Amino acid sequence: MAKILAIDDEPAVLSLLVAILKKDGHEVVAVENAEKALALDFSRFDLILCDVMMPGIDGFEFVASARERIDCPIVFLTAKSEENDAVTGLSVGADDYMRKPFGAAELRAKVAAHLRREKRERHAALTFDGIRIDLAAKQLYVHDAPIKLTKWEYAICEHLAKHPGQVFSKAQILEAVAGWDAQSDVSTVAVHVGNARTKLKSAGVAPIETVWGIGYKWTA
């Protein structure tokens, strides 16, 4: 089915991940630290599961340093319960997070949801003033220059751009880009929107407008 990279310093957790995911036919490459993971060819993988608290290079540092080389969803596995920790993970480039301890059903549903969303559909590009969104390649361009967006940032831009002028709440955006099986909180939507806005503004465009008290809309 899919090739998944699992990174965790606890052998028991790695064994559990491998056992659960192999039942769904996935091939799992398990490594016990970020240093070993950094030596791998990330283009081989369809999904990465990464622990946060690891000796040496932790999960946040790993994703921050490797995100530009990774073109697949990244899900943090974290025992941390503070909202700021989740926000930090999303800010450095992760697509989602799952709190430990987790059950087999939750893990399988999370993985299946990300792999399902990753399947690329062939559609015409969306074009606006200075902005082009290639829906097949999942790439947004500003004045023909590619903008490096995370999976979440791109998904939010694509969803809003498909419905220009329509206002969406954070909950509606979360449902649209992640589905009902998503475990992320709606507050993470604002983080991704903020990051996308910063990148787009640096390129000279500002297509996402805040409608105070309601949500966001695409105005390009």
Whether 130 is covered by a domain: the verdict is no
Whether 155 is covered by a domain: the verdict is yes
The answer, yes or no, to whether residue 121 has pLDDT greater than 50, is: no
Domain of 37, CATH number, reads 3.40.50.2300
Query: Domain containing 19: what range?
Result: 3-118
Whether 35 is covered by a domain: the verdict is yes
The answer, yes or no, to whether residue 25 has pLDDT greater than 60, is: yes
Domains of the chain: total? 2
> 98 and 180 share a domain?
no
The answer, yes or no, to whether residue 165 has pLDDT greater than 70, is: yes
Whether 140 is covered by a domain: the verdict is no
> 36 and 108 share a domain?
yes
pLDDT of residue 214: 95
Whether 141 is covered by a domain: the verdict is no
pLDDT of residue 149: 96
> 108 and 162 share a domain?
no
The answer, yes or no, to whether residue 19 has pLDDT greater than 90, is: yes
Domain of 153, CATH number, reads 1.10.10.10
pLDDT of residue 89: 79
Above pLDDT 70, what percent of the chain? 92
Average pLDDT of the chain to the nearest whole number? 89
d(CA 104, CA 101): 10
Q: What is the mean pLDDT of residues 134-161?
A: 93
Instruction: Quote the pTM value.
Output: 0.59
> 94 and 168 share a domain?
no
pLDDT digits (tens, 9 = 90+) for 33-46: 999 999 999 988 99
> 98 and 160 share a domain?
no
The answer, yes or no, to whether residue 120 has pLDDT greater than 60, is: no
- Per the structure block, which two tokens stand in for 220? 């390009």
Whether 102 is covered by a domain: the verdict is yes
Whether 136 is covered by a domain: the verdict is no
> 65 and 8 share a domain?
yes
> 42 and 96 share a domain?
yes
> 113 and 177 share a domain?
no
d(CA 185, CA 133): 27
pLDDT digits (tens, 9 = 90+) for 58-82: 999 999 899 888 878 899 998 766 5
